Amino acid sequence: MSDILKKICEVKVEEVAAAKKRMSFEDMRRDAESRVLTRDFVGALKAKIAKNQAAVIAEVKKASPSKGVIRADFIPADIAQSYAEGDGKVNAACLSVLTDRQFFQGQPDYLKQARASCLLPVLRKDFMVDPYQIYESRAMGADAVLLIAACLDDAQMVEMENIARSLDMAVLVEVHDAEELDRALQLKTPLLGINNRNLRTFEVSLQTTLDLQKRVSADKLLVTESGILTPEDVKTMRDAGVNAFLVGEAFMRADEPGEALAKLFG
Ligand SMILES: O=P(O)(O)OC[C@@H](O)[C@@H](O)c1c[nH]c2ccccc12
């Protein structure tokens, strides 16, 4: 595991231990289970693809460890609305909201605010290391969670996926190399994310998706993640048969994120 990822996961383990003291596992679980009606994350992606459009998971991200602050004027509700609207023709299928505080300057309130301001399904983007966080994700309103294969062993991935499924949440499992991919393919979820960013070096190469894609069967919905910046990048992916995208920075640097989305994918 890379050093930064290792550091982040260590911090998460500490955060979860502290969170469990504020609210017990059982209470968090009860809170999560009391919430009904998730929004259909996988269905929203498939609906775009059925119309021959790109399925875009648009990210609400203020900062990152590699780039520092990406967007100073950061109002999650406005950003979410802008993504949901697009240019009136082309818009986002789903949202992804960073909730990690220490490394991405996110917070759970950002997810709540973004979700409350639109009708799109929302992925909680954070580093899951403990089943507690899956319940916590549902309790804060998430419709989907990210599982990063590099942070988890097989048994943890399976356990967390099963909890997410029991709460009617979708699971996006993220990989960066062939070994992680083979482990991720054991899960039931159709959503498979290939991160083009190497979390050891922060280097981005779209070739990562193109190389790993060959090993993914047609019943999976492949999501290419990170480093999609230009219409040429989009064309490269769509020509290769990749129709789902997770994009943050390219939109966060624009005045109107939704218009930037429509421009990139229109
Ligand atoms: O801003 P970009 O390059 O468009 O990337 C978005 C998203 O893929 C990236 O934020 C991301 C992908 N996987 C992650 C895991 C944790 C935190 C962040 C991420």
Give per-residue pLDDT as tens, 178-194: 999 999 999 999 999 99
Q: How far is the CA of 229 from the centre of ligand 1 (A)?
A: 13
Give me the CATH topology for the region 3-265: TIM Barrel (3.20.20)
**125 CB near ligand 1 (under 6 Å):** yes
226 catalytic? Reply is yes
What is the spatial distance between Cα 64 and Cα 70, in angstroms, rounded to a whole number? 7
Per-residue model confidence (pLDDT) at position 2 = 65
What is the spatial distance between Cα 212 and Cα 198, in angstroms, rounded to a whole number? 14
Please check whether residue 209 is in contact with residue 224, taking contact to mean a CB–CB distance below 8 angstroms. yes
Q: How far is the CA of 108 from the centre of ligand 1 (A)?
A: 17
Average pLDDT of the chain to the nearest whole number = 97
61 catalytic? Reply is yes
The DSSP bridge pattern shows strands 122-125 and 94-98 to be parallel
Residue stretches of the chain with pLDDT short of 50: none
Instruction: Annotate 90-158 with DSSP letters as a single string.
Output: S--SEEEEE--STTT---HHHHHHHHHTSSS-EEEES---SHHHHHHHHHTT-SEEEEEGGG--HHHHH
Per-residue model confidence (pLDDT) at position 10 = 96
Q: How far is the CA of 63 from the centre of ligand 1 (A)?
A: 11
Phi, psi of 239 (to 5 degrees): -60, -30
Q: Which one of the listed residues 48, 62, 112, 125 is annotated catalytic?
A: 125
ipTM over 0.90: yes
The DSSP bridge pattern shows strands 63-64 and 68-69 to be antiparallel
59 catalytic? Reply is yes
Per-residue model confidence (pLDDT) at position 199 = 82
225 catalytic? Reply is yes
